[in-house]
Structure 1
Amino acid sequence: MLRPGVRRPSDERAATRWKDGRVTTQRRPTEEARAAEELGAQARAADEARAADAAADAADVTATKPLVRAARAPIPDGPARRVRPTAQQLAAAQHETIPDVLATDLRVLFCGINPGLWSAAIGKHFARPGNRFWPALHASGFTPRLLGPYEQEELPRYGLGLTNVVSRASARADELAPEEFREGGRILAAKVAEYRPRWVAILGIGAYRTAFDRKQARVGPQPEPLSGSRVWVLPNPSGLNALWTTPRLADAFRELRDCACG
């Protein structure tokens, strides 16, 4: 029961709590405040990713003396199975390639832009910390549990595979020339013709537009098939792509899954 003179707050944005006959109100955040908070979180995540990339790029810069080629980082033992490449290994990974994960008649062949130096240094796809490919793959329902780059060979059992538009590694995708993308598109078309996946999912709208001369393409299913397979363009899962949070990426992946596995 209300005490005399106490009125229930009428503000629709206020949350009311009653205790010992007293009323207190707590403001709920407005839509604008929630949007600002989300943008702030995205900006902080982007800043952290840029700082990590800047540190890696600095490590990739070689001295004027000839570089002694370093072997790829070994696969670690133990359940964590994590490894951090050294600066020398990252520098040596420039222009390296990563083996595809392929099988015939896959449900979806995921196609990255090109390997980053971290991935090339350890020989695994989407290996750099902060890349959201593996979390989005699981959150969207493609895999029953969260896999990691050292478990990439398990993907064909779920009807999934991995490749890249451009095979050579680089510190940044903008180091690749347009002709490399076009040549990579031709190689990918031949690969798709051989392995016949139902869908080809290209992880990067810019890479797709350049490789296949589709300047008006948008994220989502594409009207033009590739060597008989349907094509779906997904956002780049790099941590630098702050406009696409992990939940948004998972939603985009889930749309593809509903079509490919439904």
Structure 2
Amino acid sequence: MRVRPTRAELAAAAGRTIADVIRPDLRVLFCGINPSLYSAATGHHFARPGNRFWPAVHRSGFTERQLSPGQQDELLTEGLGITNMVARATARADELSRAELIAGAERLTEQVRRYRPQWVAVVGVTAYRIGFGLPRATLGRQTETLGGVGLWVLPNPSGLNARFQLDDLAARFAELRSAVL
């Protein structure tokens, strides 16, 4: 049974970081905006209830079964990984400054050069636009590469992003999967 963090634990998680799920030569490195307080409190990416990352990854065909946040390391066996543009946890992504997102884009570029995934998928078009200085960027495959690696932008899977329902998210993730295979 999963134990939910208390309010005090969530408050204490502000500013914390969590470990990346990464290794060299991944098929796809998913890049979130930054950890939620819930993720920082649990130590697992996309852990907040209502986040649709895990169902979207499964429904798109990247995994044979739906993983839970506590099973995040199993992604590595599928050639998948997770990192964040900004490492520090916040209650909402809009608490991040422009400077943090720009520095996060530089950090992501360094990780890509070090680990050499085949593709990078940034989950959050607004953070991508700000971090990389591309105000007109759209979802999907980008014409730019990141350190010579293919680049894709996906919708933010947070439950706070009501514009995209789970089926829409899964379809966008499936487009990436088709390009990767």
Structure 1: gaps of 5 or more residues: 1-79
Return the alpha-carbon distance in structure 2 between the equivalents of residues 138 and 122 of structure 1: 21
Please report how far the alpha carbon of residue 207 of structure 1 lies from its aligned counterpart in structure 2 after TM superposition.
0.5
Please report how far the alpha carbon of residue 228 of structure 1 lies from its aligned counterpart in structure 2 after TM superposition.
1.2
The answer for the alignment partner of 2:102 in structure 1 is 182
**1:152 aligned to 2:68?**
no
Query: Residue by residue, what CA displacement relative to the aligned partner does 1:54-99 show, whole Å, maximum 9, x if unpaired?
Result: xxxxxxxxxxxxxxxxxxxxxxxxxx4x120011110100000010
Secondary structure at the residue paired with 1:232? strand
Return the alpha-carbon distance in structure 2 between the equivalents of residues 212 and 240 of structure 1: 23
TM-score (normalised: structure 2): 0.99
1:210 to 130, 136, 143: 130
Structure having the higher Rg: 1
Please report how far the alpha carbon of residue 243 of structure 1 lies from its aligned counterpart in structure 2 after TM superposition.
1.3
Secondary structure at the residue paired with 2:109? helix
Higher relative contact order (CA 8 A, sep 6+): 2
What is the percent sequence identity of the aligned residues? 57
1:222 to 129, 142, 148: 142
Please report how far the alpha carbon of residue 179 of structure 1 lies from its aligned counterpart in structure 2 after TM superposition.
0.2
Secondary structure at the residue paired with 2:158? coil
- Which amino acid is 1:84 matched to? R
Return the alpha-carbon distance in structure 1 between the equivalents of residues 89 and 168 of structure 2: 27
The answer for the alignment partner of 2:111 in structure 1 is 191
| Alignment length (residue pairs) | 181
Secondary structure at the residue paired with 1:106? coil
The answer for the alignment partner of 1:117 in structure 2 is 37
Structure 2: gaps of 5 or more residues: none
Aligned 1:1-262 pairs, distance under 5 A: 80=1, 82-261=2-181
TM-score (normalised: structure 1): 0.68
In angstroms, what is the RMSD of aligned CA positions? 0.6
Query: Residue by residue, what CA displacement relative to the aligned partner does 1:12-46 show, whole Å, maximum 9, x if unpaired?
Result: xxxxxxxxxxxxxxxxxxxxxxxxxxxxxxxxxxx
